Structures are given as C-alpha cells and as structure tokens.
Amino acid sequence: KDAAKEHAGIIPRAIHDVFEGASRADVSDFQVFVSFVQIYNESLYDMLRDASRSVPLQIREDPTQRDKSSQAVYVEGLSEFAVRNAAECLYLIRIGEENRAQRETNMNAFSSRSHSVFQLVVEQRLASSE
C-alpha cells in the first residue's frame, strides 16, 4: 500500500472508496457533490466560499418535504460543488481548511475553536428497463 493512503483519515478514505466503487461498477450516470460548513460561535459559515464567511448562513426547514414526521433542514446559501474524482474532492477540502476561522487561545496560538461538517452527496440514476 501507498504510505500516504495508509495514513489517510476517514474522510479521504471514504472519498477514494466512493470513486473506486463507481469505477468498478461502471456506473455511467453518477454525480458527486461536495459542501463544507463551519460552525463557529454558534453561527454557520461556508468554508468553500471565503467571501461569504463574513455573513453567517441560516438553517431552514425544507419546504419540499412531504412527510412532516421527521424534520428535514438545509443550510440556505451553502455552496455545493460537483466533483469528477477524488483529487477534486480532496482539493476542495484543502480550500475549506484554509478558510477555516482560527483564533488564538490560552493553549495554542492558532486554534480552530470550531466544528466542521463535510458533506458528500452521491447521485446515481438507475438504468431504465426499456
């Protein structure tokens, strides 16, 4: 095994598995979308759009949800990027990490003091049985 791949975290491994699985299955109509949000001081920020970090994003209820027994929500204004391969996905993670808010703490000069949520959405259309 490649040393870098062997020491990769769960997110890079999952990304590689998604794209490797799609290539093995020979899926023709397969799309992957990525978004990355930061939760900092009880506010949400889009980590993939640096300019929007100054304006907190809002969580909204999904108006298209028919089943009201469970509550579906989305982050209004959160960017979503289509990616074609694992390398593009990992590049966006690096961009997001560079945009992550960092502030000095008593223990560390550069601490994130935040949480982040990386979302990978996979869409696959089933072949019609015509």
Residue 107 sits in a domain of what CATH number?
3.40.850.10
**Residue 33: band (very low, low, confident or very high) from pLDDT cuts 50, 70, 90:** very high
Q: So what's the pLDDT on residue 49?
A: 87
119 touches 34 (CB < 8 A): yes
- pLDDT above 60 (res 52): no
What's the chain's average pLDDT? 82
Q: What is the bridge-based pairing of β-strands 30-40 and 43-46?
A: antiparallel
**Residue 130 forms part of a structural domain:** no
Whole-number Cα distances in Å, 62 to 36, 52, 59, 67:
19, 22, 9, 11
Domain count, the chain: 1
Q: So what's the pLDDT on residue 37?
A: 93
**Residue 102: band (very low, low, confident or very high) from pLDDT cuts 50, 70, 90:** low
- pLDDT above 70 (res 1): no
Predicted model pTM: 0.76
- pLDDT above 60 (res 85): yes
30 touches 22 (CB < 8 A): yes
**Residue 100: band (very low, low, confident or very high) from pLDDT cuts 50, 70, 90:** confident
**Residue 98 forms part of a structural domain:** yes
**Residue 108 forms part of a structural domain:** yes
Q: How far apart are CA 97 and CA 112, in angstroms?
A: 10
- φ, ψ of residue 73 to 5 degrees: the values are -130, 165
